[in-house]
């Protein structure tokens, strides 16, 4: 137990360092990229007006002072007020978070539910027509850019077949196309990885032993093979959550989905420092938490990697 | 991925899948051309950022704010000024303007509208404490009086022939004094209340705003019960949503999609932009301080080719610094000429020594900005100019605009805010204006005199002479006056406004119902 706690403590310390580094990099890069004030005011705004707005936003202070204020506020969970929306950044981001989580989680569930059985089936039926077809589709899925696939879905499934709405957020009808688009890459890569992990496992000695014991093929595959193949599958699947968040920027734009990806891109254009800092910070937290969960899950699944 | 590649791919995708889809949809629905809908949905390229009309001048916002709020004076899509919250106005002394306000008008919360609201509203725009984004709009006003509930008297510093026009555009939306003072600007922006034909219901950022018809509107209830404003940033999905019938109107339709949309149940409605697309010149940088070089640059651009190839004919070649449709536009002046031989001669006469001339272009800030810059650079190389295009990001352009640090030429889309050269050429090119890179004593004298003259004949002559001076010096190199196109369902009878306002009042919106 103590070793688990020590492990957690060490990981937590590392997480804090990562968060500090990420915040600092975003802080510096955003300020290097330009001044938000000319974007806020009409082009004929007088210079005095620009100075006034700069002072109001605290952008007239020296950079180290701005940085100290930023770090102090971040420690209290305060990311400042959005320059564009003039509301607390956290409130603005929270308003968009639901849509992104809804889309990302649906895409993730679709991906996991489809990809693992496809990969498994493909491995068990290795070198059959089924294997070739599914892996060819997976390859195309992995290679197709999100925006292209999204537009294709809109044109074929929404416009031509008239089955689903073209864009916007609403009920599950609206969710399906963007989730499939967003999940396509994940489905493809998880399916391919599942296939190779299962194949590797199927060739292992313990599978031969299991078969020699007279176990049915179903038990051999589900109990002995899949569990041993689980580590790489879980790793890649969890890492795909990052891809889902990253890919969400394009998917959200194509499907006019009101999520944080679009917010973040727009905020970068607007030089809305607080929003960008908040989104990046939350994304970093998400990654850290997922990685931690995966590490802990390793321990549950495989006694050999448990800290001693 | 580069914007160009992606755009090309998108075009390809639309061409592949879209063509047949449109055909099928067309066959099914073209016969009817009527609807049962009691709701109008329109999709624009970006989301609303502010509902408080004094905090934004962006087209995505004014499409909504001109309908939530009324102005004292309204500019109809035909370009003419009509009564709004003011029923009549007259000049009672050279610098005194008296407005009679409409009686019986109520705010969306039931409060009566009075002259106190109008006074407060205009004063708020330039009140330093209010920190609005339209602080310069009413710079000609000295003070305002509200002697009784239905009279508003505005005193200007000098005679202002364009006061009514100023009141008709952004900054002129009238906001409720009592409500705004009691709830403060943040709540007002979140739950705006106006006197306009639609009332605010809800807003989901980056998704949709829902507005409902104001049943007691003084101009009559509009022809639908609800107005939905959606934000669909990408062009192809925006067109798809129109073709599928999910929305009734889309804005910002690029010219290369014209034919695809102008077929079957949908059509394209365009308004000639109230302004110009110009290459503004930093005339302080040699050799651009040399009028002969700038004349050569203008003569070296084949604008007809740009209109034909890049705009599919959706634009006109300008003939000077005044937009077609504005006061004092001189229809008899010929369009800006293309004459490469003459251009080369002027370069020689101007002693041009092959100095590099740079266009700092944005990519996507204006429609076709980068392709046009590339075309112009090629045309200039043909006449022997050492020209180059550099792509800058929009925010960098904004910064350079503020610092006046452009290396050469840059895209600008001067909007004619007043339907008059004063609100465009003089507002931007005048001394201290945002594009003050070039001074000419006579130009300045005429511009200042025209601003405060009520003698339209004199003003006309002044702008004619200023145009001549402009065409010798080219502080802007005008390129095109484009159409701004909208995709519209055929059952919607609606005319776009050249000033980008999205007019849904009764006189401009009718749904053809079976």
Q: Write down the pLDDT at residue B17.
A: 41
User: Which carries the bigger pLDDT value, residue A292 or residue B509?
Assistant: B509
Nearest CA-CA partner of A165 in B229, B232, B267: B232
Q: How confident is the model at residue A272 (pLDDT cuts 50, 70, 90)?
A: confident
Residue B6 has pLDDT above 50, yes or no: no
Q: How confident is the model at residue B13 (pLDDT cuts 50, 70, 90)?
A: very low
Interface test with A, best of B26, B240, B426 (most A CBs within 10 A): B240
Token pair 């014991």: residue: A213
**Partner-chain contact A155 B398, CB within 8 Å:** no
Q: How confident is the model at residue A54 (pLDDT cuts 50, 70, 90)?
A: confident
The residue-averaged pLDDT of A159-164 equals 90
Hey, what's the torsion of the CAs at B388, B473, B280, B286, to 10 degrees?
A: 50
Residue B177's CB is within 10 A of a number of other CB atoms, namely 20
**Partner-chain contact A165 B14, CB within 8 Å:** no
The residue-averaged pLDDT of B369-391 equals 96
Q: How confident is the model at residue A261 (pLDDT cuts 50, 70, 90)?
A: confident
Q: Write down the pLDDT at residue B457.
A: 95
Nearest CA-CA partner of B72 in B112, B99, B104: B99
Q: How far apart are CA B125 and CA B131, in angstroms?
A: 8
User: Which carries the bigger pLDDT value, residue A84 or residue B383?
Assistant: B383
Closest-approach residue (CA) in chain A for B426: A44
Q: A67: exposed, middle or buried (C-beta count within 10 Å: 0-12, 13-18, 19+)? A: middle
Residue B325: phi and psi, rounded to 5, are 105, -15
User: Which positions in chain A touch B127 (Cβ < 8 Å)?
Assistant: none
Q: Would the ipTM clear 0.85, i.e. be above it?
A: no
Q: How confident is the model at residue B337 (pLDDT cuts 50, 70, 90)?
A: very high
Q: How far apart are CA A261 and CA A251, in angstroms?
A: 9
Q: How confident is the model at residue A284 (pLDDT cuts 50, 70, 90)?
A: confident
Residue B334 has pLDDT above 50, yes or no: yes
Structure token digits, residue A155: 């044109």
Cβ contact A52:A287 at 8 Å = no
The residue-averaged pLDDT of B466-475 equals 97
Residue B267, H or E segment: strand B266-272
User: Which carries the bigger pLDDT value, residue B321 or residue A100?
Assistant: B321
In chain A, % of residues over pLDDT 90? 15
B 162-201 → A contacts, CB under 8 A:
186
Residue B54's CB is within 10 A of a number of other CB atoms, namely 29
- Residue A298: HSE in the Cβ half-sphere, 13 Å Cα cutoff: 16
Q: How confident is the model at residue B18 (pLDDT cuts 50, 70, 90)?
A: very low
Lowest mean pLDDT among B10-24, B145-159, B373-387: B10-24
Torsion sign over Cα A23, A29, A31, A35: negative
Nearest to B17 among A39, A52, A156 (CB): A156
Residue A286 backbone class (left: φ over 0; alpha: ψ -120 to 50; beta: rest): alpha
Lowest mean pLDDT among A222-236, B230-244, B373-387, B463-477: A222-236
Q: How confident is the model at residue A247 (pLDDT cuts 50, 70, 90)?
A: low
User: Which carries the bigger pLDDT value, residue B508 or residue A62?
Assistant: B508
The residue-averaged pLDDT of A18-47 equals 79
Q: Write down the pLDDT at residue B62.
A: 92
The residue-averaged pLDDT of B31-46 equals 87
Residue B15 has pLDDT above 70, yes or no: no
Hey, what's the torsion of the CAs at B433, B438, B441, B447, to 10 degrees?
A: -40
The residue-averaged pLDDT of B480-496 equals 96
Q: How far apart are CA B298 and CA A222, in angstroms?
A: 75
Q: Write down the pLDDT at residue B492.
A: 96
User: Which carries the bigger pLDDT value, residue B61 or residue A290?
Assistant: B61
Q: Write down the pLDDT at residue A44.
A: 62
Residue A69 has pLDDT above 80, yes or no: yes
Structure token digits, residue B407: 């290396």
Q: Write down the pLDDT at residue A307.
A: 61
Q: Write down the pLDDT at residue B504.
A: 97
Q: How far apart are CA B394 and CA B363, in angstroms?
A: 8
* DSSP annotation string for B425-452: HHHHHSTTSTT-----HHHHHHHHHHHT
Q: How confident is the model at residue A43 (pLDDT cuts 50, 70, 90)?
A: low
Interface test with A, best of B14, B44, B52, B398 (most A CBs within 10 A): B398
Q: How far apart are CA A4 and CA B241, in angstroms?
A: 54
Q: B80: exposed, middle or buried (C-beta count within 10 Å: 0-12, 13-18, 19+)? A: exposed
Q: How confident is the model at residue B331 (pLDDT cuts 50, 70, 90)?
A: very high
B 367-426 → A contacts, CB under 8 A:
394-396, 398-399, 401-402
User: Which carries the bigger pLDDT value, residue B406 or residue B9?
Assistant: B406
Q: How far is residue B84 from each of residues A5, B69, B163, B419, measured CA to CA in Å?
A: 71, 10, 14, 17
The residue-averaged pLDDT of A94-123 equals 90
- B360 - beta bridge partners? B390, B410
Lowest mean pLDDT among B18-32, B98-112, B317-331, B478-492: B18-32
Q: Write down the pLDDT at residue A246.
A: 62
Closest-approach residue (CA) in chain A for B413: A43
SS3 B12: helix
Q: Write down the pLDDT at residue A308.
A: 57
The residue-averaged pLDDT of A23-36 equals 83
Residue B478: phi and psi, rounded to 5, are -65, 140
Residue B393 has pLDDT above 90, yes or no: no
Q: How far is residue B309 from each of residues A79, B278, B302, B382, measured CA to CA in Å?
A: 48, 18, 11, 18
The residue-averaged pLDDT of B406-425 equals 94
Q: How confident is the model at residue B158 (pLDDT cuts 50, 70, 90)?
A: very high
**Partner-chain contact B20 A40, CB within 8 Å:** no
Closest-approach residue (CA) in chain B for A160: B21
Q: How far apart are CA B384 and CA B96, in angstroms?
A: 56
Instruction: Tell me the average pLDDT of chain A.
Output: 85
Instruction: Tell me the average pLDDT of chain B.
Output: 91
Taking the alpha carbons at both ends of chain A, their separation in whole angstroms is 9
Alpha helices (runs of H) in B280-432, residue ranges in sequence order: 291-299, 303-305, 340-349, 369-382, 394-403, 425-429
Cis status, amide bond into B328, omega within 30 of 0? no
Q: Write down the pLDDT at residue B215.
A: 96
Tens digits of per-residue pLDDT, B48-70? 888 999 988 888 999 999 999 99
B 38-97 → A contacts, CB under 8 A:
43, 49, 57
The residue-averaged pLDDT of B455-480 equals 97
């Amino acid at each position: 137990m103590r070793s688990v706690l020590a492990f957690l403590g060490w990981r937590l310390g590392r997480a804090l360092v990562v968060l500090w580094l990420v915040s600092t990099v975003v802080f510096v890069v955003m300020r290097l990229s330009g001044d938000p004030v000319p974007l806020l005011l009409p082009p004929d705004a007088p210079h005095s007006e620009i100075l006034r707005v700069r002072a109001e936003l605290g952008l007239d202070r020296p950079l180290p002072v701005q940085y100290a204020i930023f770090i102090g506020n971040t420690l209290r969970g305060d990311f400042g007020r959005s320059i564009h929306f003039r509301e607390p950044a956290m409130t603005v981001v929270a308003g968009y978070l639901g849509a992104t989580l809804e889309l990302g989680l649906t895409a993730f569930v679709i991906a996991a539910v489809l990809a693992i059985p496809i990969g498994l089936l493909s491995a068990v039926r290795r070198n059959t027509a089924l294997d070739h077809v599914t892996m060819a589709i997976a390859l195309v899925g992995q290679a197709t850019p999100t925006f292209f696939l999204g537009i294709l879905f809109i044109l074929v499934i929404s416009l031509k077949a008239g089955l689903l709405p073209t864009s916007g957020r609403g009920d599950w009808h609206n969710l399906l196309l963007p989730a499939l688009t967003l999940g396509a890459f994940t489905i493809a890569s998880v399916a391919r990885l599942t296939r190779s992990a299962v194949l590797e496992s199927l060739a292992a000695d313990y599978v031969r032993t299991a078969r020699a014991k007279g176990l049915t093929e179903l038990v051999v595959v589900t109990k002995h093979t899949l569990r041993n193949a689980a580590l790489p599958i879980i790793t890649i699947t969890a890492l795909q959550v990052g891809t889902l968040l990253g890919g969400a920027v394009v998917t959200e734009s194509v499907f006019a989905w009101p999520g944080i990806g679009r917010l973040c891109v727009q905020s970068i254009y607007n030089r809305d420092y607080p929003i960008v800092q908040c989104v990046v910070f939350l994304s970093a937290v998400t990654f850290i938490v997922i990685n931690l969960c995966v590490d802990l899950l390793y321990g549950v699944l495989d006694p050999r990697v448990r800290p001693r | 991925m580069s914007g160009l590649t992606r755009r090309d791919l998108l075009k390809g995708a639309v061409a592949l899948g879209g063509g047949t889809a449109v055909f099928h949809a067309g066959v099914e629905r073209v016969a009817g051309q009527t609807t049962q809908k009691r709701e109008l949905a329109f999709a624009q390229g970006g989301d609303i950022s502010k509902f408080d009309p004094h905090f934004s001048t962006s087209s995505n916002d004014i499409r909504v704010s001109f309908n939530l709020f009324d102005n004292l004076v309204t500019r109809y899509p035909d370009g003419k000024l009509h009564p709004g919250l003011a029923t009549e106005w007259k000049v009672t002394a050279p610098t005194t303007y008296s407005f009679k306000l409409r009686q019986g008008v109520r705010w969306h919360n039931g409060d009566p509208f009075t002259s106190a609201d109008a006074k407060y509203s205009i004063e708020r725009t330039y009140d330093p404490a209010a920190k609005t984004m339209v602080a310069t709009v009413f710079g000609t006003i000295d003070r305002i009086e509200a002697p009784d509930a239905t009279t508003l008297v505005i005193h200007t510093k000098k005679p202002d022939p364009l006061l009514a026009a100023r009141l008709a555009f952004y900054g002129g939306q009238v906001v409720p004094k009592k409500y705004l003072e009691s709830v403060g600007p943040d709540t007002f922006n979140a739950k705006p209340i106006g006197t306009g034909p639609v009332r605010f219901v809800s807003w989901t950022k980056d998704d949709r705003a829902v507005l409902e018809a104001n049943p007691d509107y003084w101009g009559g209830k509009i022809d639908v019960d609800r107005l939905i404003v959606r934000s669909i940033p990408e062009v192809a999905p925006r067109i798809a949503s129109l073709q599928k019938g999910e929305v009734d109107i889309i804005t910002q339709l690029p010219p290369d999609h014209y034919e695809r949309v102008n077929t079957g149940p949908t059509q394209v409605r365009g308004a000639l932009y109230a302004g110009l697309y110009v290459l503004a010149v930093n005339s302080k940088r040699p050799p651009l301080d040399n009028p002969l070089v700038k004349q050569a640059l203008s003569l070296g651009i084949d604008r007809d080719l740009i209109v034909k190839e890049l705009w599919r004919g959706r634009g006109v070649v300008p003939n000077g610094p005044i937009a077609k449709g504005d006061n004092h536009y001189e229809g008899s002046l010929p369009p800006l000429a293309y004459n490469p031989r003459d251009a080369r001669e002027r370069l020689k006469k101007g002693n041009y020594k092959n100095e590099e001339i740079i266009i700092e272009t944005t990519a996507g800030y204006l429609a076709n900005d980068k392709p046009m810059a590339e075309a112009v650079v090629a045309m200039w190389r043909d006449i022997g100019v050492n020209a180059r295009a550099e792509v800058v990001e929009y925010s960098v352009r904004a910064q350079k605009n503020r610092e006046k640090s452009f290396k050469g030429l840059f895209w600008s889309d001067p909007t004619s805010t007043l339907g008059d050269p004063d609100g465009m050429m003089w507002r931007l090119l005048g001394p201290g204006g945002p594009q003050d890179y070039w001074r000419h004593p006579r130009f300045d004298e005429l511009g200042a005199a025209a601003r405060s003259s009520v003698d339209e004949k004199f003003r006309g002559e002044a702008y004619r002479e200023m145009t001549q001076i402009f065409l010798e010096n080219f502080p802007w190199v005008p390129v095109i006056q484009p159409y701004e196109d909208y995709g519209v369902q055929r059952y919607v009878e609606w005319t776009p406004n050249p000033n980008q306002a999205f007019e849904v009042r009764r006189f401009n919106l009718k749904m053809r119902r079976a």
